[in-house]
């Protein structure tokens, strides 16, 4: 479904106004701020900055920017030459209005540099708990459906997951299935193993698959290891 950037902005403004006038949390606060540095086996490095914050009226923002080096140039910190940003504005009031716990609305903005390609999406999300047998712990899954994109060239279905296995080990990640009109559909997958090494510090191991990179002149599959600091 086609939606221009101006129409998406108007839709987001309508959601913001309606949510701020509704009954719900009104506090603003920073939930998390993380920085992760990776070495990829395709001979480049990545600096990831991630933020999550609460806004008034059942709104929240989560997002990240990945600063990547070019493939094959080595792992030097000064080789960061490209980036991908993804930021999500979520509204949690839909589930309460319809009596469906975990149901929400979400708008997503993507920006790819140096090509300066950007894309907006709008759709529904559904998050629920997932008990993990044998661990006594509970993870969660979030299903996302974006039938509206600003390029009018398809849509996306997505699964995000967080699975705490022990006090110091967890698995998290996502699987995005991109529907493209008149072209092959593309997967993007990133499962990640997290090992806590100290308070606020994690060792991470991540598998990366990007069907868009694989269809071009880049290697779309690789492994990355790194260290994450949480503030």
Q: Dump pLDDT digits (tens) for 121-130.
A: 999 999 999 9
Average pLDDT over residues 1-15: 48
- Global pTM reads 0.86
| pLDDT tens-digit readout, 193-215 | 999 999 999 999 999 999 999 88
pLDDT of residue 17: 47
Please state the domain count of the chain.
1
Instruction: Say if residue 163's pLDDT is above 50.
Output: yes
Average pLDDT of the chain is: 89
- Determine the structural domain holding residue 132 and report its residue range: 5-230
Q: What is the 3-state secondary structure (H, E, C) of the chain?
A: CECCHHHHHHHHHHHHHHHHCCCCCCCCEEEEEEEEEEEECCCEEEEEEEEEEEECCCEEEEEEEEEEECCCCCCCHHHEEEEEEEEEEEECHHHHHHCCCCEEEEEEEEEEECCCEEEEEEEEEEEEEEEECCCCEEEEEEEEEEEEECCCCEEEEEEEEEEECCCCEEEEEEEEEEEECCCCCEEEEEEEEEEEEECCEEEEEEEEEEHHHHHCCCCCEEEEEEEEEEC
Local confidence band at 149 (pLDDT 50, 70, 90 cut-offs): very high
Instruction: Say if residue 16's pLDDT is above 60.
Output: no
Instruction: Say if residue 171's pLDDT is above 50.
Output: yes
| pLDDT tens-digit readout, 33-66 | 999 999 999 999 999 999 999 998 889 999 999 9
CATH, residue 186? 2.40.160.40
Mean pLDDT lowest for which of 93-97, 133-137, 193-197?
A: 93-97
Task: Provide, rounded to the nearest whole percent, the portion of the chain with pLDDT above 90.
Answer: 73
Local confidence band at 27 (pLDDT 50, 70, 90 cut-offs): low
């Amino acid at each position: 479904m086609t939606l221009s950037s101006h129409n998406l902005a108007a839709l987001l403004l309508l959601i913001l106004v309606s949510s701020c006038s509704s009954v719900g949390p009104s506090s603003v606060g920073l939930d998390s701020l993380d920085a992760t540095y990776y070495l990829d086996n395709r001979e480049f490095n990545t600096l990831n900055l991630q933020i999550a914050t609460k806004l008034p009226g059942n709104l929240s923002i989560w997002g990240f920017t990945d600063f990547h080096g070019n493939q094959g140039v080595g792992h030097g910190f000064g080789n960061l030459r490209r980036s991908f940003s993804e930021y999500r504005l979520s509204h949690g009031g839909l589930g309460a209005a319809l009596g469906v716990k975990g149901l929400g609305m979400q708008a997503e903005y993507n920006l790819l540099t140096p090509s300066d390609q950007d894309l907006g999406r709008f759709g529904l999300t559904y998050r629920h708990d997932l008990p993990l047998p044998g661990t006594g712990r509970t993870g969660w899954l979030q299903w996302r459906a974006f039938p509206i994109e600003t390029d009018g060239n398809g849509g996306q279905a997505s699964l995000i997951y967080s699975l705490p296995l022990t006090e110091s080990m967890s698995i998290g990640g996502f699987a995005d299935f991109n529907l493209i009109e008149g072209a092959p559909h593309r997967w993007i997958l990133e499962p990640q193993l997290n090992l806590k090494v100290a308070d606020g510090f994690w060792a991470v191991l991540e598998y990366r698959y990007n069907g868009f990179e694989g269809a071009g002149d880049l290697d779309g599959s690789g492994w990355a290891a790194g260290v994450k600091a949480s503030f």
